[in-house]
Amino acid sequence: MQGWYREVNPLRVAFNFIVIYLCRYLPCLPLKNFLYRRLGMQVGKNVSVGLMAMMDIFYPQLITIGDNAIIGYNATVLCHEFRIREFCTGAVEIGANVLIGANSTILPGIRIGEGARVGAGSLVNRDVPPGFLAAGVPARVIRKVAD
């Protein structure tokens, strides 16, 4: 972690941090989505990102959120991961009509399929298929979501 500044420009990280931290407290969803798009995130129409949700400050441009998705209170979306001897990145794709419960964490490289649901407090460390409910730590697919 000590050499993070070799991976990403510190000025870019500072700018991302300021915008993302501001968005954590903004109640105005259209303004929040506008600011996320300025960071390079792909944010669909009618996306609702809850209060205190935290997006990756190093690589927000690797986050894609589909139309009508809801990301709950204090959820965390990560696109980078520090390991003992390596630094990993991975795009996070959140499909259309997805619901991510409060206090959930999405790890790098994860795809959450269209219409999927993630239970509150879950740690998503593998892909969630479209139309399924996943929950737990780590999150496991539980059942098909009723239409």
pLDDT tens-digit map of 39-89: 999 999 999 999 999 999 999 999 999 999 999 999 999 999 877 777 789
Residue 146, pLDDT score: 76
CATH class, range 4-138: mainly beta
pLDDT value, residue 1 = 56
Helix (H, G, I), strand (E, B) or coil at 128: strand
Which has more pLDDT, 8 or 89? 89
Kindly state the tokens that stand for 102: 């409060």
- In the chain, domain spans: 4-138
Average per-residue pLDDT for the chain:
93
Res 10: pLDDT = 86
**53 tagged catalytic:** no
- Looking at the predicted structure, is the pLDDT value of residue 3 above 90? no
Going from the C-alpha of 141 to that of each of 21, 46, 64, 81, 94, the distances in angstroms are: 31, 26, 21, 23, 16
- The one catalytic residue among 80, 106, 109, 119: 80
Alpha helices, DSSP H only, in the chain?
10-25, 29-38
CA dist., res. 28 & res. 33, Å (int):
9
Whether residue 32 is predicted with pLDDT greater than 90 in this model: the reply is yes
Residue 81 has a pLDDT of 86
pLDDT in tens, 97-122: 999 999 999 999 999 999 999 999 99
Looking at residue 22, its pLDDT comes to 97
Phi, psi of 25 (to 5 degrees): -105, -10
Map tokens 């509150």 to a residue. 120
For residue 4, the model assigns a pLDDT of 63
Predicted pLDDT at 7: 73
